[in-house]
Structure 1
Amino acid sequence: MSKDKIRYKATIAGKEYTIIGARSVKHLQVVEKTLDGQLQQIEKLTKGLDPERRAVLAAVNAVSDQIEMQIKMQSMEEEIELLKQQLDTVQQNELNEQ
């Protein structure tokens, strides 16, 4: 294990897990709290669904959110590139006018 990785003990859905990674403890605490909250919400909405299926639903939600964020990020990157091009054009026009 590399020295920049940490071991973090998380309790999710009443079970303890050891997470090994390079993220900060604060980050892992937020992940733990968020996931545990999502699983509790899914449990309330889907009475009788077994824990494995609830975990799969939480994973589906997480992947869906990730894809949505990737699409937004790509759109923002394209907008930034367009704005850079527009800025370059304005700067070139100002230079040509001088």
Structure 2
Amino acid sequence: MLKGKIRYKTTIAGRPYTIIGARPEEHMRSVSKMVNEQMQQIESLSKGLDPERRAVLVAVNAVSDQIELQIKLDAMQKELAELEKKLQKDQESKINEE
């Protein structure tokens, strides 16, 4: 096993899984809980879907959320860079006035 990796055993949609990763156990517990909740939500909305199709829909939703968050993060980083540039100009102006 790689250094820093832990084995986390969980049950998702009634099936046992062992997840290997570097995240803390609390993080993995939260991830497992969220995946289970999303699987149950999709099952209640789309009766009759097999677990594999539900899992694909959970994955699609997760990637969609990740893309939205990345877009927001990129916009915030751009705004931060612009604010830092403005602050630097303001500081240079103040120094030149003295």
Same fold (TM > 0.5): yes
| Equivalent in the alignment of 1:62 | 62
Q: Counterpart amino acid of 2:64?
A: S
CA-based RMSD: 0.6
* Structure 1: gaps of 5 or more residues: none
Task: Tell me how far apart the structure 2 counterparts of residues 55 and 34 of structure 1 sit (CA, whole Å).
Answer: 12
Gaps of 5+ in 2: none
Q: Secondary structure of 2:41's partner? A: helix
* Partner Cα separation in structure 2 for residue 96 and residue 70 of structure 1: 39
The reply on whether 1:34 has 2:34 as its aligned counterpart is yes
Match of 2:94 in 1: 94
Deviation at 1:51, TM superposition (A): 1.0
Number of residue pairs matched? Answer: 98
State how far apart, in whole Å, the 2-side matches of 1:92 and 1:39 are: 55
